[in-house]
Structure 1
Amino acid sequence: MTTLLVTGGSAGIGAATARMGAARGYDHVVVTYSQDAKGADAILRDIEEAGATGHAIRADVRDAAALSALFDRIGDLPPAPLHLVNNAGVVTPTGSLADLTPDRVRAVFEVNVLGAFEVARLAVAYMQAHHGGHVVNISSAAARHGSPGQYVDYAATKGAIETFSVGIAHELAADGIRVNALRPGLIETEIHAKGGVPDRLEKIGHTPPLGRPGTADEVAEGILWLLSDAASYVTGTVLDVTGGR
């Protein structure tokens, strides 16, 4: 028996991972969401149809009390290893350096870095106190490319996530807890519209060497592989799912 926790699981990569995890044999799949209750309910139905027990829990990763309550709920589930997909994140409208005001940058870092750090801290404490588990933190190809003139603040948060992943992977290896990051490239999700460029993939989706954007399911495949026993000798790495970009 194993529990899968996916933060930001109501849409996009998180939702695809939750669905696929349910279909691949996770007994309990927990998805968190901040605002999209309708999307979370839809994912919950998909999880149940795939044969797992689903749990959709409202928990803003910026809210310490909500995260504490989330892990109390997880503690009520049957004892099992916990696998974390640290996926919750935000992007702001595209902008240049001149647009990177302290308020804008702070808002992105509070979710993408501080929130992700706290989720990982609580999840690892749970793993160490119970039955172990593994972590996949979601980065972005933006961490490598820098996203100039578009999402430099978002790219910087993902660079922080990659460094964090390597550091705690080394720290937790003796506990048998593997930690990796996964770096999606141009993926067909709602994030482009949220960034104010709904036609972004129409403009540049052909630019990866494979000549097309990826799908959320293709990213989910990589995430679930990193969490699986097939990746038992993989920790402290960043897996590119970018079509070669």
Structure 2
Amino acid sequence: MERVVLVTGGSRGIGAATAKLAAQRGWSVAVNYASNASAADEVVQAVRAAGRRAIAVQADVADEAQVMRMFEAVDAQLGRVTDLVNNAGVVDQAQRVEDMSGERLQRMFGINVIGSILCAREAVRRMSTKRGGPGGAIVNLSSAASRLGAPGQYVDYAAAKGAIDAFTVGLAKEVAAEGIRVNAVRPGLIETEIHASGGIPDRVQKLAHQVPMARGGTAEEVAQAILWLMSPEASYTTMSLVDVSGGR
């Protein structure tokens, strides 16, 4: 059976690294993106160069109708998903809670939490052996921030990732007998573009001294953990929250 993985937020950073590594390991890949079509197309070309099928699918994961259309597009062009990487996520400008707007919070939880739950819902509908599916794996992207709280910078982001931790545990138990494994990876300080989108492009360099391994991680290092959780090697692993944080 062909393995088909949907990677949300797959056009850059950890998502792009995951899509490329999945192709090398034998998956066909659907690359979801919100707005940067050219970056998504570059990832698609890299997947095809590795000999696997690939498509780019635009969708805002916080929008239920767009999520449903995205899964239908994957069904039609690649086949039913066997694996999902819930990677799409956002941060915002560093800010104290007392200064955060309701609009910021709606966006933060809409994309980081509701989007992940909507995508998991659609994946379970296709994967569950109870529904005639083949089973599969879901890997959610949490963050070390769910443990650390991110005070003075991104408490809302940390809270959203705390919700992902709880969601991972609950969904894993809910579908464990239906052939679906659900785990999460919690990256620490990783060298990706997300820090610039939060207004601190050199955040990894500034905080590397707090990491016991004394450096930031790479998107590829996180992708390795994600691919292990998707693989048959992790066949008895579900409900796990795997820290990829250099000891922080």
Q: TM-score, normalised by structure 1?
A: 0.96
1:81 and 1:95 map into 2 onto residues whose CA distance is: 38
Q: Residue 204 of structure 1: CA displacement? A: 1.1
The alignment partner of 2:210 has SS state of coil
Deviations for 1:128-154, whole angstroms, at most 9, x for unmatched residues?
Answer: 243221100000000000000000000
> Secondary structure of the equivalent of 2:95?
coil
Aligned mates of 1:84, 1:208 — CA distance in 2:
30
Matched residue, 2:33: 33
Partners of 2:120 and 2:101 lie apart in 1 by 28
> What code does the residue aligned with 2:184 have?
A
1:236 aligns with 2:239: yes
Whole-angstrom CA distance in 2 between matches of 1:78 and 1:190: 29
Measure how far apart 1:156 and its partner are. 0.3
Distance 2:16 2:64 in 1: 23
Q: Distance in 2 between matches of 1:54 and 1:75?
A: 12
- Deviation, 1:80, is 5.8
Task: Give the CA deviation at 1:74.
Answer: 2.1
1:161 matched to which residue of 2?
Answer: 164
> Structure 1: any 5+ residue segments left out of the alignment?
none
User: 1:97 & 1:163 partners in 2: Cα distance?
Assistant: 22
For structure 2, which runs of at least 5 residues remain unmatched after alignment?
Answer: none
Q: Does 1:87 align with 2:96?
A: no
State the aligned residue count: 244
Q: How far off its partner does 1:207 sit?
A: 2.3
Which amino acid in 1 is paired with 2:18?
T
In structure 1, the residue matched to 2:145 is 142
Whole-Å separation in 2 of the counterparts to 1:78 and 1:112: 25
Tell me how far 1:199 sits from its aligned partner.
1.2
CA distance, structure 2, for counterparts of residue 240 and residue 200 of structure 1: 19
Partner of 1:99: 99
Cα root mean square deviation, aligned: 1.2
Q: Deviations over 1:105-164 (max 9, x none)?
A: 111001111111101101111112432211000000000000000000000000000000
* CA distance in structure 1 between the partners assigned to 2:232 and 2:137 by the alignment: 10
Out of 175, 196, 201, the residue aligned to residue 198 of structure 1 is 201
Paired position in structure 1 for 2:224: 221
On the 8 A contact 1:33/1:58 being kept in 2, the answer is yes
Per the alignment, residue 212 of structure 2 pairs with 209
SS at match of 1:209: coil
Check the 8 A contact 2:75/2:81 in 1, yes or no: no
The answer as to whether partners of 1:206 and 1:213 remain within 8 angstroms in 2 is: no
Q: Residues 200, 78 of structure 1: CA spacing in aligned structure 2 closer, same or farther, 3 A cutoff? A: closer
Deviations 1:167-200 (A, max 9, x none): 0100101112000011000000001100000111
TM-score of the superposed pair, with normalisation by structure 2: 0.95
How far, CA to CA, are the matches of 1:162 and 1:187 in structure 2? 19
- SS of the residue 1:212 aligns to: coil
**Aligned residue type for 1:144:** R
Q: Distance in 1 between matches of 2:79 and 2:194?
A: 35
1:20 matched residue in structure 2:
21
Checking the alignment, whether the CA contact within 8 Å between 1:61 and 1:115 is kept in structure 2 is yes
**Kept in 1: contact 2:19–2:47 (CA 8 A):** yes
Contact 2:91 2:197 in 1 (8 A): yes
- Is 1:122 the counterpart of 2:125? The answer is no
